[in-house]
Structure 1
Amino acid sequence: MADQEQKGKELMAEAEKKVRSSQTFFGSLFGGSTTKLEEASEIYQRAANSFKMAKAWSAAGKAFKKSASLEKKMKNKPRAGYRLAEAGSCYKKVDGEEAVRCLQQAIEIFTDMGRFTIAAKHLITVAEIYEGNSIDLEKAIEYYERAADYYKGEDSTSSANKCLLKVAQYSAQLENYGKSVEIYEEVAEVAVKTPLLKYSAKDYFFKAALCQMCIDTLNAKLAVQKYEEMFAAFADSREYKLLNKLLAALEEEDVDGYTDAVKEYDSISRLDQWLTTILLRIKKSIGGMDLT
């Protein structure tokens, strides 16, 4: 590892020397300046890869940025974009803010070029930074939404829906239940019409109904009836049965009945953190304080 880091440093020095020589009078004659910049860019990339092998992530990110800067200078936009994206991937491990800055530049380049699928991929990476290291769910939602729009424009419905489901998940966590309902219903409608995705529709309808319960019990009851009409198999699911038990408990203000229904479901299908949080919020609306 130490050898690779030293090799990276030596390559950085070599690249810097190439850049300086390109700026001399003789270096700029007969297009020699461009040739030297091309060589320097490649050497920076080699240095970055050496730093990556040494897990020197900041140094690798810096080297990729320098390579990208030279590619921009030579008006090679695709290479500049890819090098900036590489820099972002390296910085992501040690410096979220710098990673976002690099990735935003890459996104701008690929968007300007009309390469929306590539731009969407990097938008997702930025969203992951905000949902992981920085924990800014509003920012994560913003970038997942942009990625979904780009995928929709390229008719990549499946990829767009994956992003939208993240938006729905985090919107509910931030108590923007209406937005979550809208997305879960939209994705469920697509799933119902797609043979390979039909099974997953029940999960989306289930989550949509829970978000409805966070808003209003009557609308939640009507929504469950609507989902059954849209997808007949939903009525045979454990999720549908749980929803009806929860609605009955809410109407009767029966905290024990609500708790028993959740425990019965959890004994067979373990609740994840998101479902636990939403179910707890609903329970608190009838005076309960704990799901356990």
Structure 2
Amino acid sequence: MSAMAKAQKGKAEAFVKEAESLLNKKSWFSSSKERNVEEAAETFEKAANAYKVGGLNQEAGDTYLKVGELYRDKLSDFSNASKAFNNAGTCYKKGSPSEAVKAYQQAVSLYTDNARITQAAKLSKEIAEIYENEEIEEDGKSHVVLAIESYEQAAELFGMEDSKSNASQCLGKIAELCSAALDPPDYLRAGKIYDDLGRRCLSSNLLKFNAKGYFLQSVLCQLANGDDVGAEQAMSKYESLDYTFGDSREGKFAAALVESFQGHDVEGFSTACFEFDRISKLNPWQTAILVKVKRSIDDGGDGSDDSDVDLT
């Protein structure tokens, strides 16, 4: 432990001792008791800050939790309580993701109860990102399922505040996880989400050019699900919704993929992927989905073993 960490730890422990003494201090009057609790909460917060400065994140998180509980349970000060739980989560995030989630969830609960919807939405998204990146399981649910549920909550909360861009980002993550990380994949749900996101884009002059990309994603989900008829019907629908789709790079790519899929034309499929990637670089999600689709037509497989499949 560095000299600075030792110094901050000593300072924090002194604050903790002082805070505990304030909590144990006897008083005959309720106003005096409340004041003691307020001073204890403030002193515990000083301790938490000292731990944090010293890089002692676990201790800092534990102490911020105490601060949050005092403000919430003893003082009904929900603003300071939510701030403390948020700080606890930030400290825990650096070494204990599961504890970070629990702390953040307490903050989200307070934010929603007190109509601080934007803060609740942002923190729900933060929780979703932790679940997505960490192997955390709860109540028999995988980290992917938990991430999807948290992104759903975030999208709903952002929607309440009419934050369309943030809501769309969360919905896009749900579709991505459903199709690329969930076991087994839920291509139908992912396709419906991409379909909806594309339609939303068409209602905005600023975003309408993004619709083609979402419509392409939806078609890819149909193909990954082995439904070339559904993919063909989707393309027809998108051409009627967006008259530019059929002649766009995305539309032509989708048409070539559907045609190759229906004709079991592996070479044509690979050529279409190569030509599209040459101009518009395929992203990792698209590449993964296309590999699965190619696998299903390459040798009659189901796409479960695609580690050796090349799109070119």
TM-score bucket (shorter structure): over 0.9
**1:192-231: per-residue Cα shift (whole Å, max 9, x none)?**
1101111211111110111111220011011112112111
Find the aligned partners of 1:67 and 1:218 in 2 and give their Cα distance: 58
Q: Does 1:104 align with 2:105?
A: yes
Contact 2:5/2:55, CA 8 A, preserved across alignment: no
Alignment of 1:1-292 (within 5 A): 2-3=3-4, 6-26=7-27, 29=29, 31-72=31-72, 73-134=74-135, 136-173=143-180, 174=182, 175-215=185-225, 216-287=227-298, 289-292=309-312
Deviation at 1:274, TM superposition (A): 0.9
Secondary structure in 2 matching 1:226:
helix
Whether the 8 Å contact between 1:4 and 1:50 is mirrored in structure 2 is no
Indicate the SS of the match to 2:245: helix
Runs of 4+ deviating beyond 6 Å: none
Q: Percent identity?
A: 35
Q: Which amino acid aligns with 2:245?
A: F
Q: Give the Cα–Cα distance (whole angstroms) in 1 for the partners of residues 20 and 50 of structure 2.
A: 20
* Unpaired segments ≥5 residues, structure 1: none
Q: CA deviation at 1:259?
A: 0.9
1:4 is displaced (CA, Å) by: 5.2
On the 8 A contact 2:19/2:44 being kept in 1, the answer is no
Alpha-carbon spacing, 1:22–1:51, altered in 2? closer, same or farther (3 Å): closer
Post-superposition CA distance 1:89-114 (Å, at most 9, x none): 11111101111111111122222223
Is the CA contact 1:22–1:32 (under 8 Å) kept in the aligned structure 2? no
Which is helix-richer, 1 or 2?
A: 1
Structure 2 residue runs without a partner (length 5+) = 137-142, 300-308
* Partner AA of 2:41 in structure 1: S
Q: Write the distance in 2 (CA, Å) between the matches of 1:2 and 1:268.
A: 55
